Structure 1
């Protein structure tokens, strides 16, 4: 497993794969209590990183605004509903 300090260096996909591995390990019930606590803490940090990356990606998405004539008139930030 990657050291916690290295989590920020992972791509979204790598972080998500590691999170899925941790969830699988925890769900299996094979981890000892101390290991499970450590895995949970790592998983929480990976989850937060994935959420932050998704939020950043969503903030970069723009939608095209249409003028009165029906033609594209520019872009505006994506609305988060």
Structure 2
């Protein structure tokens, strides 16, 4: 697995790991390896989300605080 997958690729991999673990078909060693990979991946994804949130906050501050969170909802609805 790439050390820094894209967010979408990482999320897909995490979902696959969860499915494998939930299937109950893995040996204990395989399950532990998948679980460890999942923990590391979830930490990486959380870091990416935190960075994205920080970037949004910087952009909001650059707009003089005029930006509102519900603006995203309005933009989605207008598509």
Q: Which residue of 2 aligns with 1:45?
A: 40
Give unpaired runs (5+ residues) of structure 1. 66-72, 77-81
Secondary structure of the structure 2 residue equivalent to 1:41: helix
More helix by share: 2
Question: Structure 1 length as normaliser, TM-score?
Answer: 0.70
Q: Give SS of 1:27's match.
A: helix
Q: How does 1:26-65 map to 2 (within 5 A)?
A: 26-62=21-57, 63=60
Higher relative contact order (CA 8 A, sep 6+): 2
Equivalent pair of 1:64/1:75 in contact (CA under 8 Å): yes
Show structure 2 runs of 5+ residues with no match.
67-79
Bigger Rg over Cα = 1
Q: Please tell me the root mean square deviation across aligned C-alpha atoms, in Å.
A: 2.1
TM-score by length of 2: 0.72
Give the C-alpha shift of residue 7 in structure 1: 2.6
Partner of 2:20: 25
How many residue pairs align between the two structures?
64
**Kept in 2: contact 1:15–1:46 (CA 8 A):** yes
Tell me which stretches of 4 or more aligned residues in structure 1 moved more than 6 Å. Answer: none
